[in-house]
Homo-oligomer: A and B are copies of this chain.
Amino acid sequence: MARAGVTAERLTLAAAELADEIGMENVTVAALARHFGVKDASLYFHIRNGHDLRVRVALLALAELADRVASALAGRAGKDALVAFATAYRAYAKEHPGRYAAMQIDLDPETAAASAGIRHAEMTRAILRGYRLAEPDQTDAVRMMHSTFHGFVSLERTGGFRHTPRSADDSWTRTLDALDAVLSNWPA
């Protein structure tokens, strides 16, 4: 019988695209098998189980986002770098809502340690070089930045800003201004 040429990589990519189209919660092993014209049982030669599949999508998304952010950050410093990071982050989440949702599942510690999440942390810390913050303020600032980005994008996606007419883009710009201001003038 004809072989469909399924591999774990192709499955992961297809699952990620499916997630962006129909939402991560609707990405099922069965749906993925249909997409490849294959029986669902066949997929278990490539992935351990449904959870494994979701983890793979999460790792893919983390790596893609880290690449995007890295190239956005190249040659920039200070507020310029902050805005570039944030813009790349938000754009990725907008373009790839399913992948972004996948990133939110909690990975077990060793998987997380091996993921591109580490690169994110390093890049966020790199931005702060323009702001001259010493530890532990630096860690606190990294966490605040990440919280702001993730929180904003997450609220925007679930419609948390719908009830006020003000455009989300404008609020985003001003939020980054505020973040820059507080990083420049970190309270003692």
* Binding site secondary structure of chain A: helix
Question: Which range holds the interface residue count of chain A?
Answer: 35 or more
A150 touching B143 in the complex, CB below 8 Å, given contacts A118-B163, A159-B112, A182-B178: no
The answer to whether the Cβ of A187 comes within 8 Å of any Cβ in the partner chain is yes
Contacts of A141 in B (CB 8 A): 178
Cα distance, A95 to B109, chains bound together (Å): 22
Partner of A175, one of B109, B140, B162, B170: B140
Cα distance, A137 to B158, chains bound together (Å): 22
Contacts of A44 in B (CB 8 A): none
The answer to whether B147 touches A152 (Cβ under 8 A) is yes
Contacts of A28 in B (CB 8 A): none
Contacts of A170 in B (CB 8 A): 136, 140
A148 touching B144 in the complex, CB below 8 Å, given contacts A113-B163, A118-B163: yes
Which residues of A (153-188) have their CB < 8 Å from a CB of B? Answer: 154-155, 157-164, 166, 168, 170-171, 174-175, 177-182, 185-187
Minimum CB–CB distance from A101 to chain B (whole Å) comes to 10
Cα distance, A139 to B140, chains bound together (Å): 25
Residue contacts A-B, CB under 8 angstroms, 8 given: A105-B158, A112-B159, A136-B171, A146-B155, A174-B187, A178-B186, A181-B185, A181-B186
Interface residues of A (CB under 8 A from B): 104-107, 109, 112-113, 117-118, 121, 136-137, 139-144, 146-152, 154-155, 157-164, 166, 168, 170-171, 174-175, 177-182, 185-187
Q: 3 smallest A-B Cβ distances: which pairs?
A: A151-B151, A147-B151, A147-B152
